[in-house]
Amino acid sequence: MAVSPTGYVILGMLRHEPRTGYGIKQVVDHSTRFFWAASYGQIYPELRKLAKAGLVEGESQPQGGRKRTVYRLTPAGREELSRWLGEEPEVLEVRDEGLLKLFFASAGPPETALQTVDARQRFYEAKLAQLREIEPRASAAADDGDPYPDVVLRYGIESCDWAIRWCERAREELGKQDTKRRRAA
């Protein structure tokens, strides 16, 4: 039984401590979602598959009358996670509607390109703010023994910085082109 890409996200999220499906979703949303998202529609069915494959183990731990299943890695799950970590990364997919719109901008009204760049900058500024908000937590976790989430988070922050600066440069360049075109007309 093959583990799906998101299955490995789940295994990874259980590497330090057991969690509920709900808990996994919370952590994903505050960490990996910027480069790998996961919805309940994936998490719950996948947890069952992983349990059937013997890679995780669920234990019922109700709180009051509220049903609750906490999952932990089995030794086999820990091994499978480690094996996967040693494999060459393969998936790197991007679907970037903004770049697409900029690429095709000549087919739209003249303000298309600038608008698209502006929207892009706003997007990255919002993303940057979100990342800065969660950084302290990752930094604390780093002092606690696992430096990698913080390394990845800083990658996210720095790449946002870069993207924002690119937008600023692009705006300048596009402005010049506008001037040229206006002169030519």
Partner DNA sequence: ATACTCATGTAAGAAGTTACATGATTAC
Partner DNA sequence: GTAATCATGTAACTTCTTACATGAGTAT
Which residue ranges make up the site for its own copies (CB under 8 A)? 5, 8-9, 12, 15, 31-32, 34-37, 78, 81-82, 84-86, 88-109, 112-113, 115-116, 119-120, 123, 145-149, 151-152, 155, 158-159, 162-163, 166, 170, 173-174, 177
Q: Region of 143 please: left (phi>0), alpha (psi -120 to 50) or beta.
A: alpha
Burial 8-41 (b: 16+ CB within 10 A, else e): bbbbbbbeeebbbbebbbebbeebbebeeebeee
Which entry of DNA, its own copies, none binds 177, CB below 5 to 8 A by partner kind? its own copies
Interaction of residue 47 with DNA, rule CB under 7 A: yes
C-beta separation of 25 from 38 below 8 A: yes
Among 1, 63, 75, 184, contact with DNA (rule: CB under 7 A)? 63
Q: Which is nearer to its own copies, 61 or 136 (CB)?
A: 136
CA distance 93 to 21: 25
C-beta separation of 77 from 14 below 8 A: yes
Q: Which is nearer to its own copies, 58 or 98 (CB)?
A: 98
Closest CA to 16 of 69, 72, 80, 87: 72
Q: Which is nearer to its own copies, 76 or 100 (CB)?
A: 100
Footprint of DNA (CB under 7 A): 2, 4-6, 20-23, 26, 37-42, 44-45, 47, 63-70, 95
